[in-house]
Chain A
Amino acid sequence: MILELNEDQKMIRDSARDFAEKFVAPVARQLDVTQEFPVDLIKQAGEMGFMGVAIPEQYGGSDMDYVSYVLMMEEISRHCASTGVILSVNNSLVCDPLLKYGTEEQKQKYLKPLAMGEKIGCYGLTEANSGSDCASMKTVAKKDGEGWIVNGSKIFITNGTNADTFIVFTSTDASLGNRGITAFIIERDMPGVSVIPMHGKMGIRASGLSELVFEDVKLTDEHRLGDFNKGFKVAMTTLDAGRIGIAAQALGIAKGCIAESVKYSKERAQFGKTISNFQGIQFMLADMHARYDSARLVTLKAAFLKDSGKNYSLYSSKAKILAAETATFASNKAVQIHGGYGYIKEYDVERFFRDARITEIYEGTTEIQKLVVSSTLIGR
């Protein structure tokens, strides 16, 4: 058993770390305040090859593995979880399904510019009244001769404000529930498409959150992604891999919490010595790091299974449970270690605390992941 990164993976981690320290860290606090999508930063990330890490070179990607993708996500999210999720959505929720289900024409037309970072993608599944129960979606694609007409709306869409290419899930036969969903590629500039920015999130505030509205949007069969009425499978397999990216984002947040807490505990003096001398602080740091390390191993295993062509869905669910809970745990402890200073915006852990919370919610709540894991144990 070899538990060591290979040379490529170490190089990618180091490049992502250098990029994050040099370009992401200096703007992260400001992005949180302004809630503005980091247009220039994402362009730079695209030039680095971070927008299509595991996409083959022929489709504009960096041709690396999923382990590398995890490492990149962790390093970026260590400084800015908003930037992390923007990259995660483009990589795993948009590029991945285009690679897996797209036709050659769709790959050339849509995947290539997305993987190269020339365009930005978003993933439209969630609706106002349809979250974990995605079969209840109200966005409808109605057959119209050879084509389709789409009506409805999607909410809480990451990257929406700046995305050019949307993967949208529609109900094509409501009577069939999950088996009546079809995925489509919709372009931002199509007639009938509108994007309404959403503000006021607790954390990951610069992720371009939007509502997407579709009014009589005309599509042809060339916009259909995957088979007719097989959209549920597209959505679920995409989220299976997406969870690995979100687990990596959560690990990055936890890593940031640990780094900032270690640093602060060695600077802050009380009762005549730095607080790193007190067991109460030492135990918190040890708990944070032990949980971080175990969640990281499971996340890397999920990525490794995916790279090996094996079934990874169980591990991606376990990774997301563990990493997300680690992020919220570590951010809570980080604020505690920082005391009153952790409660004000001047210190990054205040932002990390707010950013961490979403990782237990989006791309399948912790509870949904637990259903996946337990159903394997119980065998249903």
Chain B
Amino acid sequence: MKFFVCCKQVPDVAMAFQIKDGELQKDDLNYVLNAYDASAVEESLVIKDAVSELDLSLVLMGAEKGKEALRKGLAMGANDAFHIEDDAFEGSDSHAAANVLEAFFKDKEYDAILCGKQSQDMDMGLTGGLLAEKLNIPYVTNAVGLEVNEEAKSILVTRQGDAGQEKVELSFPCIVSCSNDMNEPRIPSLRGIMQSKKKPMNKVSVADLGLATDAVGKSGSKSTLLSMDFPKARKAGEKFEGEASELVSTLIDKLTNEAKVL
């Protein structure tokens, strides 16, 4: 079997962010493998141990630095990686990203493409769905469990829906977007890190994919990020103490006269 995991490198959301003039200050940021993608890698590795044979490739589009995220996935246990790197990607939205991935996958053989259900930086959650549409293959979102049926060439996905968990069976080839509730991604051991240096890291450019430069980056995008800002700090709520009967009348008074909602 052949699986791909689509990876993205994102700023470490645990760090303090700085925004200046509506732009995120990127110099001091630490970049990491998107946590949802890490869960997709982990789940693939669990499947790899359970089935007769699974070859796991990673693919990432992004700046040169992005190879660090791929190396983490390789150190976890993936077989090889494809790094689609081009300055032309600057300013891509999900649509432009899906264009690139479509071009990448169109001549590839695969049984399943896994991706994170969203990225931790933009939280759009669109790329997987757009890619499935472009490749015209079945797609399920927000997976919390995967079971592969080698004989039937299918995958049984447990997905977290609004009203509970649903089980959906997809035939290969397909795309599944993964939740981080699915597993605890393994931490690469030093041996894994050492071995990851020797695994193939294939460089791919826009030209290699036969894409016109206006299909990617800002010109290939359908949305534009205008500016960024921190959410406005909320004022601390008011606390009232005392007997329940007094508290209720205070509350009704506030809701009627201050909040004017009653």
Tell me the A residues contacting B by CB distance below 8 Å.
Answer: 7-8, 10-12, 14-15, 18-19, 22, 47-50, 53, 57, 62-64, 68
Contact residues of B: prevailing secondary structure: helix
Known: A8-B197, A11-B71. A64 touches B187 (CB 8 A): no
Selected contact of A48 from candidates B32, B72, B189, CB within 8 Å: B189
**In the complex, what distance in Å separates the CA atom of A258 from the CA atom of B71?**
30
**In the complex, what distance in Å separates the CA atom of A48 from the CA atom of B39?**
19
Distance in Å from the Cβ of B254 to the closest Cβ of chain A? Answer: 23
- Which residues in A have their C-beta under 8 angstroms from that of B188? 11, 15
A50–B190 touching, CB < 8 Å: yes
B189–A49 touching, CB < 8 Å: yes
Contact residues of A: prevailing secondary structure: helix
B194–A15 touching, CB < 8 Å: no
Give the number of residues in B that approach A within 8 Å (Cβ atoms). 14
**In the complex, what distance in Å separates the CA atom of A68 from the CA atom of B188?**
14
Interface centre among B188, B190, B196 (most CB of A within 10 A): B190
B189–A11 touching, CB < 8 Å: no
Distance in Å from the Cβ of B59 to the closest Cβ of chain A? Answer: 19
Task: Kindly report which residue of chain B lies nearest to residue A11, judged by CB atoms.
Answer: B193
A15–B68 touching, CB < 8 Å: no
Distance in Å from the Cβ of B198 to the closest Cβ of chain A? Answer: 12
Distance in Å from the Cβ of B119 to the closest Cβ of chain A? Answer: 19
B191–A62 touching, CB < 8 Å: yes
Selected contact of B191 from candidates A8, A14, A49, CB within 8 Å: A49
B187–A12 touching, CB < 8 Å: no
Distance in Å from the Cβ of B216 to the closest Cβ of chain A? Answer: 26
A18–B187 touching, CB < 8 Å: yes
Beyond known contacts A15-B187, A18-B187: 13 more, CB 8 A cutoff? A8-B197, A11-B68, A11-B188, A14-B32, A22-B187, A48-B190, A49-B190, A50-B190, A57-B194, A62-B194, A64-B190, A64-B193, A68-B190
**In the complex, what distance in Å separates the CA atom of A174 from the CA atom of B187?**
50
**In the complex, what distance in Å separates the CA atom of A19 from the CA atom of B185?**
11
**In the complex, what distance in Å separates the CA atom of A218 from the CA atom of B75?**
45
Q: Using an 8 Å CB-CB cutoff, how does the interface string of B64-105 with A read, 1 for contact, 0 for none?
A: 000010011001000000000000000000000000000000
Known: A10-B68, A11-B72. A19 touches B187 (CB 8 A): yes
**In the complex, what distance in Å separates the CA atom of A15 from the CA atom of B194?**
12
A8–B193 touching, CB < 8 Å: yes
Distance in Å from the Cβ of A83 to the closest Cβ of chain B? Answer: 15
Distance in Å from the Cβ of B67 to the closest Cβ of chain A? Answer: 8
Task: Kindly report which residue of chain B lies nearest to residue A61, judged by CB atoms.
Answer: B190
**In the complex, what distance in Å separates the CA atom of A22 from the CA atom of B32?**
17
- Which residues in A have their C-beta under 8 angstroms from that of B190? 12, 15, 48-50, 53, 62, 64, 68
**In the complex, what distance in Å separates the CA atom of A50 from the CA atom of B156?**
38
